[in-house]
Amino acid sequence: MILSLVPPTQLYLISPLDVGGDFPARLERALAAGAKGPDALIAAFQFRVKGVDQHAAAALAAPLQAICAAHDVAFIVNDSVALAKRLKADGVHLGQEDGSPKEARDVLGREAQIGVTCHASRHMAMEAGEAGADYVAFGAFFPSTTKDKGPDAEVPEPEILQWWASLFEIPCVAIGGITPENCAPLVAAGADFLAVSGAVWGGDEVAAIEAFRKVMRP
């Protein structure tokens, strides 16, 4: 599965920090609800864990990666190029402190999907595109417990998505506190993907996917 510019907007799921216990079963239910069919709602899943070594992270990732493969959903590793290489993941998502897309490309190869967090910065996004990123991510658009940002971080407006989509072919991802109730302006502005975490994993994941579907596929 490759993240590509294919309308309409799709979901990019981000894992909670705890992916043990029954989480593999929850991921399976979510993907079964939203990843199949010609109008699939879910395109990608980002594996995001903190504070565990690479061996433990690889063990946690294995069942989730298999579930994603079975549903033709891209498996993207957050922050770590080394872990993405070890897992032979579909790609890696880089923060501004996690190295350049060019360096990641050298390690992961031509087929890897490389995304870059660009916050509310058009300049960062253009730099990421020039460095070979496959997608750029803007946000946080709304208060979020997943998307890290400082108290003085600029909050982007949906117009930045419209600006990007009108000028560049590289897909853009909207991230940060996105829910079925607030996502409509981001879809209308041209987001290719909505990155969501708490809105899905904070309750019934199947009900959440269906709630997003009602807004994104009216």
The domain made up of 10-216 has a fold known as TIM Barrel (3.20.20)
Kindly list the averaged pLDDT for each block of 10 residues, start to end, along the chain of length 218.
Answer: 65 97 98 89 97 96 98 97 98 95 97 97 97 98 71 84 97 98 97 98 98 95
pLDDT, position 124: 97
The pLDDT assigned to 39 comes to 84
- pLDDT number for residue 28: 98
* Residue 136 to residue 116: CA distance in whole angstroms: 5
Amino acid code (one letter) for 143 = P
**Distance (Å, whole) CA 120 – CA 105:** 24
Residue 57 is predicted with a pLDDT of 98
For residue 148, the model assigns a pLDDT of: 55
Q: How far apart are CA 205 and CA 166, in angstroms?
A: 33
Q: Where are the beta strands (DSSP E) in the chain?
A: 10-14, 42-47, 74-78, 91-94, 113-117, 135-139, 172-175, 193-196
Q: How many helices (H) and strands (E) does the chain have?
A: 9, 8
Entry pTM: 0.94
The domain ranges of the chain are 10-216
Helix, strand, coil distribution of the chain in percent, nearest 5: 40, 15, 45
- Tokens 């996004």 belong to which residue? 125
